[in-house]
């Protein structure tokens, strides 16, 4: 199987995940983490805690629709101190964006009830004060009675081969899940019973700092608990709540927002590209948008960028395209996004997890492999929610409105007419795409044995 670079879309908007938090562990070595002083980090705490604070640049968001989302909020705390919502956040070098990422998250936690929530954050290779803000946030979250885990690591997925990159991304996600799984993650873990050490040159400088507890403490979850994963994208509270709402409303195992890439810093919505092509697959197993290359006879008719515009997404699957155009959630084989919500129990029970490709298996991302394993274990109710959109551009991160970006106005479709009629069996074949120019159809369970 060829190992080709997968291109800018996957690299720019790749979804990482989150983790845990004055102890460092590399193998069995423990040391104290050095403290750094940044003169202005404290100024970021008030705008994170107060959505109305405009002392820093931030996304301006509408008030939460209490009528639509009140059903998500339990009337009183669970008697067994079980958490219903766990937020997994991956951050890297983004101190200026923290009010627009964590502010809405704190707003959602207050709305849902802090006693129902826990947060696991991983800060990766951050030297701009991001980690120090996250340290300071711990005391505030403790006052709110929010379970909080913080991890820092210098693990760099972009250092090494493509195969190492996927395994490192899977490792980051697995570390983030330690509060749910109760398992310590080793640097050699591939999370599927296959231990494959990283090359020696990748290991000596790699450290994992767990800053809130030296050992993972297993969060007690409600049976219907939801894990919400979030990366460095500017969002609003309603974006998170809508995904949680749709997972409950649709009885879904996993739901994703739509990811968009804007080539221009001006964020021209007419030229937005769907950015998760490498790791997403439609319900028929095909790409969510077709890609043409110079070797294709149709290349001169349709260039790659044009094929990824919003009006051409899902042109190869009419039923899903009709739901997309109606702004209704649609089922997929696999999805990938900077904002997603999962059923937490399969992860807590160790039935699924994030991993890299096995020997002989199609080279693919850890998120696509996760969806593949979800189908294998009977959790194939996976959907994309087109009314929730996140995006990034060459000029930085931004929030996108509904339907692929309609000027910041997020559409909501209510009522039973929006329900998905679930297909319980996966497609027979799924496109294997090690690189954008290398596409073949293989059995959906290829490599699972």
pLDDT at 350: 92
Query: For residue 169, how many other CB atoms are within 10 A of its CB?
Result: 23
- pLDDT band of residue 20 (cuts 50, 70, 90) is very low
With tokens 């803000």, the residue in question is 133
pLDDT at 390: 84
Residues 118, 271: Cα–Cα separation, whole Å: 38
**pLDDT of residue 347 exceeding 70:** yes
Average pLDDT over residues 78-87: 84
SS (H, E, C) 71-109: HHCCCCCCCCCCEEEEEEEEECCCHHHHHHHHHHHHHHH
Percent of the chain with pLDDT over 70: 70
With tokens 């040159």, the residue in question is 201
For residue 138, give the DSSP letter: H
**pLDDT of residue 183 exceeding 90:** no
For residue 253, give the DSSP letter: S
pLDDT at 188: 52
Q: Please state whether the predicted TM-score (pTM) of the whole model is above 0.85.
A: no
pLDDT at 79: 62
∠ CA(301), CA(274), CA(431), 5° rounding? 75
The structure tokens listed for 437 are 């120019």
When mean pLDDT is compared across 82-86, 87-91, 300-304, 418-422, the lowest value belongs to 300-304
Q: What ranges do the domains of the chain cover?
A: 17-60+79-230, 238-338+346-449
| Closest by CA position to 273, among listed 304, 299, 302, 296 | 304
| Closest by CA position to 379, among listed 258, 251, 246, 192 | 251
pLDDT at 328: 93
pLDDT at 210: 65
Residues 279, 188: Cα–Cα separation, whole Å: 24
With tokens 């795409």, the residue in question is 433
* CA-CA-CA-CA dihedral for 62, 64, 65, 66, to nearest 10: -160
pLDDT at 40: 79
Bridge pairing between strands 339-343 and 221-230: antiparallel
Strands (E), 131-183: 147-153
What's the residue count for the chain?
449
pLDDT at 253: 98
The structure tokens listed for 445 are 């369970």
Residue 140 CB-density burial (10 A; 0-12 exposed, 13-18 middle, 19+ buried) = middle
Residues 90, 232: Cα–Cα separation, whole Å: 7
Query: For residue 250, how many other CB atoms are within 10 A of its CB?
Result: 19
- For 104-133, what is each residue's pLDDT tens digit? 999 999 999 999 999 999 988 778 888 899
**pLDDT of residue 297 exceeding 60:** no
């Amino acid at each position: 199987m060829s190992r080709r670079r997968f291109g800018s879309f996957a690299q720019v908007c790749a979804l990482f995940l989150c983790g845990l938090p004055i102890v460092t562990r590399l193998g069995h070595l423990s040391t104290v983490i050095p403290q750094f002083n940044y003169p202005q980090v404290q100024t970021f705490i008030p705008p994170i805690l107060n959505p109305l604070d405009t002392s820093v640049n931030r996304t301006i968001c509408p008030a939460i629709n209490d009528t639509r989302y009140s059903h998500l909020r339990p009337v009183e705390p669970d008697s067994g101190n079980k958490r219903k919502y766990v937020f997994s956040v991956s951050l890297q070098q983004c101190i200026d964006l923290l009010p627009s990422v964590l502010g809405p998250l704190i707003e959602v936690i207050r709305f849902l009830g802090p006693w129902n929530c826990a947060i696991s954050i991983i800060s990766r290779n951050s030297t701009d004060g991001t980690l120090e803000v996250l340290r300071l946030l711990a005391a505030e979250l403790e006052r709110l009675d929010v379970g909080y885990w913080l991890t820092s690591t210098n693990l760099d997925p972009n250092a090494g081969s493509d195969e190492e990159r996927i395994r490192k991304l899977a490792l980051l996600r697995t570390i983030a899940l330690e509060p749910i799984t109760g398992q310590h993650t080793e640097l050699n873990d591939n999370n599927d019973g296959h231990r494959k050490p990283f090359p020696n040159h990748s290991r000596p400088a790699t450290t994992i700092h767990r800053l809130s507890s030296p050992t993972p403490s297993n969060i007690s979850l409600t049976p219907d608990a939801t894990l919400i994963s979030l990366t460095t994208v500017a969002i609003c509270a309603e974006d998170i709540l809508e995904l949680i709402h749709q997972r409950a409303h649709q009885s879904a195992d996993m739901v994703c927002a739509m990811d968009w890439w804007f080539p221009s810093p001006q964020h021209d919505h007419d030229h937005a590209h769907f950015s998760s092509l490498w790791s997403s697959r439609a319900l028929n197993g095909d790409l969510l948008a077709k890609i043409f290359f110079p070797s294709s006879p149709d290349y001169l008719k349709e260039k790659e960028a044009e094929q990824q515009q919003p009006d051409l997404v899902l042109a190869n699957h009419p039923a899903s395209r009709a739901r997309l155009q109606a702004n209704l959630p649609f089922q997929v084989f696999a999805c990938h996004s900077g904002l997603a919500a999962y059923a937490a129990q399969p992860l807590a029970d160790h039935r699924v997890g994030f991993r890299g490709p096995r020997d002989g298996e199609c080279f693919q991302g850890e998120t696509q492999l996760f969806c593949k394993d979800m189908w294998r274990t009977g959790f194939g109710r996976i959907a994309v929610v087109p009314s929730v959109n996140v995006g990034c551009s060459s000029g930085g991160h931004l929030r996108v409105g509904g339907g692929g970006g309609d000027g910041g106005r997020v559409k909501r479709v209510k009522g039973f007419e929006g329900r998905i009629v679930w297909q319980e069996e996966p497609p027979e074949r799924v496109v294997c795409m090690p690189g954008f120019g290398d596409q073949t159809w293989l059995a959906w369970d290829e490599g699972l044995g």
